[in-house]
């Protein structure tokens, strides 16, 4: 991947861009980076101008203490689209990125064409216990203080149904990212801005519930049946709430279907975009 940087709302954002055609922007999840889309970029770029990036404070974008709650997330995404001179784009968001993609679409509907939500946060309060424990001081700090090949592998294994499908080259990438002290701080800050010991903060969940029924964009919801981060029942809630939506559930799949079932995921999304 040919890595580049661009200034967005005062943040130095790391990104990769491939292909020509209608714009398609890929949003990673908590603790992730643009590398989570490496199995999808080439495929989508055959027909779309495909852009993946690291959020501020994540991956190798600038270390920025940015509050991603609601307005800040959608405002950043609008600035991102403006920086690339995109009057309108389709969004694919995984996990936290799915929540940000949803909020951007709900708040700026004229800027978003189609929406693909991949195991996104927001359709329910329940989240995995390790994620919730990370919001409590000093448990989050202690969890991120133990950094080794083994702990990175354990972290990644929880995101997959089949641990044999965890790309081995992602382990050193995860370690390199979380060896940056400020990155660890920002990750915990963002996590704690939206999650507490009970789960997703109620005010965020209520906004999603309120805005989902009025969403007019054609929406594809994709979920791993065995997701340990956000349970499958939340996918069905989203399908019920968003009128113009369809749902696809991957069997034997965890929180990252775009990696664990990359080929099937790519064809599913392309068919949706072109339907």
Domain count, the chain: 1
Question: The domain that contains 144 carries what CATH number?
Answer: 3.40.50.1820
The DSSP string of the chain is ---EEEEETTEEEEEEEE--SSEEEEE--TT--GGGGTTTHHHHTTTSEEEEEPPTTSTTS-------STHHHHHHHHHHHHHTT-SSEEEEEETHHHHHHHHHHHH-GGGEEEEEEES-S-S-S---HHHHHTTSTTHHHHHHH--SHHHHHHHHHTT-SSGGGS-TTHHHHHHHHHTSHHHHHHHHHHHHHHEETTEE-HHHHHHHHHHHTT--S-EEEEEETT-SSS-THHHHHHHHH-TTEEEEEESS--S-HHHHTHHHHHHHHHHHHH-
Could you tell me the residue range of the domain that residue 251 belongs to?
A: 4-274
The tens place of each residue's pLDDT in the chain, 275 residues long, gives 899 999 999 999 999 999 999 999 999 999 999 999 999 999 999 999 999 999 999 999 998 866 766 688 899 999 999 999 999 999 999 999 999 999 999 999 999 999 999 999 999 999 999 999 999 999 999 999 989 998 899 999 999 999 999 999 999 999 999 999 999 999 999 999 999 999 999 999 999 999 999 999 999 999 999 999 999 999 999 999 999 999 999 999 999 999 999 999 999 999 999 99
pTM over 0.85: yes
């Amino acid at each position: 991947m040919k890595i580049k940087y661009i200034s967005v709302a005062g943040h130095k954002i790391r990104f990769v861009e491939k292909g020509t055609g209608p714009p398609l922007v890929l949003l990673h999840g908590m603790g992730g980076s643009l590398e989570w889309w490496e199995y999808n970029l080439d495929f989508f770029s055959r027909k779309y101008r495909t852009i993946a990036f690291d959020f501020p404070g994540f991956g190798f974008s600038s270390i920025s203490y940015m509050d991603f709650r609601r307005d800040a997330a959608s405002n950043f995404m609008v600035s991102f689209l403006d920086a690339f001179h995109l009057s309108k784009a389709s969004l694919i968001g995984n996990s936290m990125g799915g929540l940000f993609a949803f909020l951007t679409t709900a708040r700026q509907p004229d800027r978003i064409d189609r929406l693909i939500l991949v195991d996104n946060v927001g359709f329910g309060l329940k989240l995995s216990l390790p994620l919730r424990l990370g919001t409590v001081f000093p448990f989050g700090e202690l969890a991120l203080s133990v950094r080794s090949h083994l702990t990175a592998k354990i972290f990644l294994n929880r995101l997959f149904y089949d641990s044999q499908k965890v790309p081995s080259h992602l382990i050193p990438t995860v370690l390199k990212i979380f060896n940056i002290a400020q990155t660890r701080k920002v990750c915990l800050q963002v996590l704690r801005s939206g999650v507490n010991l009970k789960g997703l903060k109620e005010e965020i969940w209520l906004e999603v519930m309120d805005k989902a029924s009025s969403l007019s964009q054609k929406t594809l919801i994709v979920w791993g049946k065995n997701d340990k981060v956000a349970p499958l029942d939340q996918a069905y809630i989203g399908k019920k709430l968003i009128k113009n939506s369809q749902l696809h559930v991957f069997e034997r799949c965890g929180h990252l279907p775009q990696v664990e079932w990359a080929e099937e995921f790519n064809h599913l999304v392309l068919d949706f975009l072109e339907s």
